[in-house]
A and B are shown apart, each in its own frame.
Chain A
Amino acid sequence: MGRVEGVNTTKDAINRWSPSYVLLVGIAAGFPDNKAALGDVLVSSLVVDYELQKISDDPTWWDKLLRRQPKSRENYRFQPYNADTRLLQAAQNFITVNWTARITTPRPVSGKPTARFGPMATGDKVVARRALVDSLLRGWPKLIGLEMEAGGVASACFQSPKRPGSFMVRGVSDLADNNKGTDSVEQWRAYAAEVAATYAISLLSSGPLPIEAAASEFKRHTDHALQNPRLQIPGLQKSIRRNEIEEVEDQLGLGMSVVLTGEAGTGKTGIGQMLATAARSAGKEVLLLDARLVEHVNDEAQLRNTF
């Protein structure tokens, strides 16, 4: 895909979904110099874009000393982008033995994937030459791997006014050397892709993101929906008791979802309010949503943005 496609796709996604975070999950080349092995998972602490270069024929002091013709040289002007701190810290503290058990693709060679943390190089080139890896490592010795889209994704996140955090998880499918494309390396691709996806899902499932924000938005919305309670008739001391509430609770208790129907004025909204209040009393989060308030939405993203 490359960095340009990465920028465009990420910009579109940010405009469309207004995400708080953008995760890039896929496969990459690992650098054995920093212990990355086939099938490992690479968690990028920093994305280092190596495409910016100065290409010149200027003689070095050594050329001048030896009075020789200077060679054409490529000087990297590395452009680094930090990974999102919250997600990176969550990943560094993500200590669970079980995530690898969720991988269903057979591992080509026995062993277990290890999570490696460190900077990763990004550029538009498919690299199958060790010399390029060596030159990158000379400039940035702790690089753990190399891939092709993160520079674009991180740049789009960085330049967006919404500034979503960017974060990358990659499974090692080759080692950026002459063996890339051989059967013995190709067999790792599917496994590496699943390793990265499984790690990312497991990490997110561990709850590193500020879910309190969603809970608080749902709470505010529900508070609002409860501010005009129904089932209270002026002149009557108590709210009207409705047996339907117990019927709904019984079904929910059995693990069923319920659609409550009835003609206008039979107290459906009041029953909904009572069900919301009861769930709160039981310590549950509640989202009581009046469909009329979201009449304009065409998809889930727009719905989420109404809160």
Chain B
Amino acid sequence: MVNEIGYLGTIGGCRVIIDQLDSMVDLPCVRVLTDLATDCSVLPGVEVVVISRGDEEHEAKAISALTGKGFVELHSYPLTEADAEKLLNELGIDASNKKVVTIAKNLLNLELIARIKEKNTSFDFSAIENEIDLWDHYVKALLASESKGEELLAAVTELAREAINSEDGSVTVNIPMGRAVIRLRSWGIIVREYGRVYRFRHEKLQDYFYAWDATERCLMPPDVLSEINKHRSMNILDWMRRIYARDSAELYARFLKGAFDVE
């Protein structure tokens, strides 16, 4: 494969972009992909870009393997406050609530705000206090704007569980395609890969819906780890922690204890 890329590099140039490296945690494919990236980086006419989150220890490890081989690390930043404010105004949203502006600096949050606004033009964004609030309102907007909102929510949480446990994060929907799937596509929550194979538009959405459902079922960390792969659990547990912290002191305490008890 490196030879093929190398040859393409010599006959007009080739750009290799590897996205979502952080999603793989400690799997062997991280080494395969970082090896591919470093091998290609020395080939004439070949440009290499690797995209990854970099906060967690395992992410930093993969990144340092690349920077150690001469890769330059650049950062993708949230929007500036001024840009977020401007975009909120463009969406017709009052940007006087600075908390909303701060939340909207994250593009995924901005997209959720836009989706809520799209479905409910009179939605009052001034009530939003933090990111969890926004995502909660997003779920409520989903419920309120759909005649069978509960059915939709059940479908999306089921899809999230399937996607998290599938090998590549995709899910295969049944034929005939249920109404819920069609509506979830319309909301931009899932996107079609091929034929009947779908994927959550953003992994964070998938994790949130699973975490939301898990907190509705009062699951604790050991329960979660028995349902899903360990390497996919980190962001989900963080969402659950934040949801419990907001909703119930007792469940939050139990959750923290459970988190300390698991390996």
Contacts and interface: CB of A to CB of B under 8 A. Distances in A.
B24 A259 contact: no
Given A275-B17, A290-B19, A285 B75 contact: no
Nearest to A255: B47
15 contacts: A235-B91, A235-B92, A235-B118, A237-B90, A244-B74, A258-B71, A259-B51, A261-B52, A265-B202, A270-B107, A291-B29, A293-B168, A294-B29, A299-B28, A304-B1
A253 B19 CA distance: 20
B27 interface: yes
Interface in A193-211: 205, 207, 211
Shortest 8 CB-CB contacts between residues of A and residues of B:
A262-B76, A265-B108, A261-B54, A284-B13, A279-B15, A257-B41, A214-B4, A257-B48
A258 B74 contact: yes
A110 interface: no
A266 B193 contact: no
B202 A295 contact: no
B12 A259 contact: no
A301 to B, nearest CB: 8
Q: Interface SS of chain A: helix, strand, loop or mixed?
A: mixed
A189 B35 CA distance: 34
Interface of B: 1-2, 4-5, 7-8, 11-21, 23-24, 27-30, 32-33, 35-37, 41, 47-55, 59, 63, 66-67, 70-79, 83, 87, 90-92, 106-111, 114-115, 117-118, 167-169, 188, 191, 193-194, 201-204, 235
Contacts of B70: 256-257
B107 A224 contact: no
B72 A275 contact: no
Interface residues of A, number: 66
A218 B115 CA distance: 33
B16 A266 contact: no
B19 A269 contact: yes
A70 to B, nearest CB: 56
Interface of A: 205, 207, 211, 214-215, 218, 224-225, 227-228, 230-231, 233-237, 240, 242, 244, 247-248, 251-252, 256-272, 275-276, 279, 282-300, 302-304
B11 A207 contact: yes
Contacts of A234: 111, 114-115, 118, 188
Contact of B111 (A215, A233, A291, A292): A233
B124 to A, nearest CB: 17
A96 B50 CA distance: 37
B1 A291 contact: no
A220 B71 CA distance: 27
B194 A256 contact: no
B8 A285 contact: yes
A235 B117 contact: yes
B203 A211 contact: no
A300 B19 contact: no
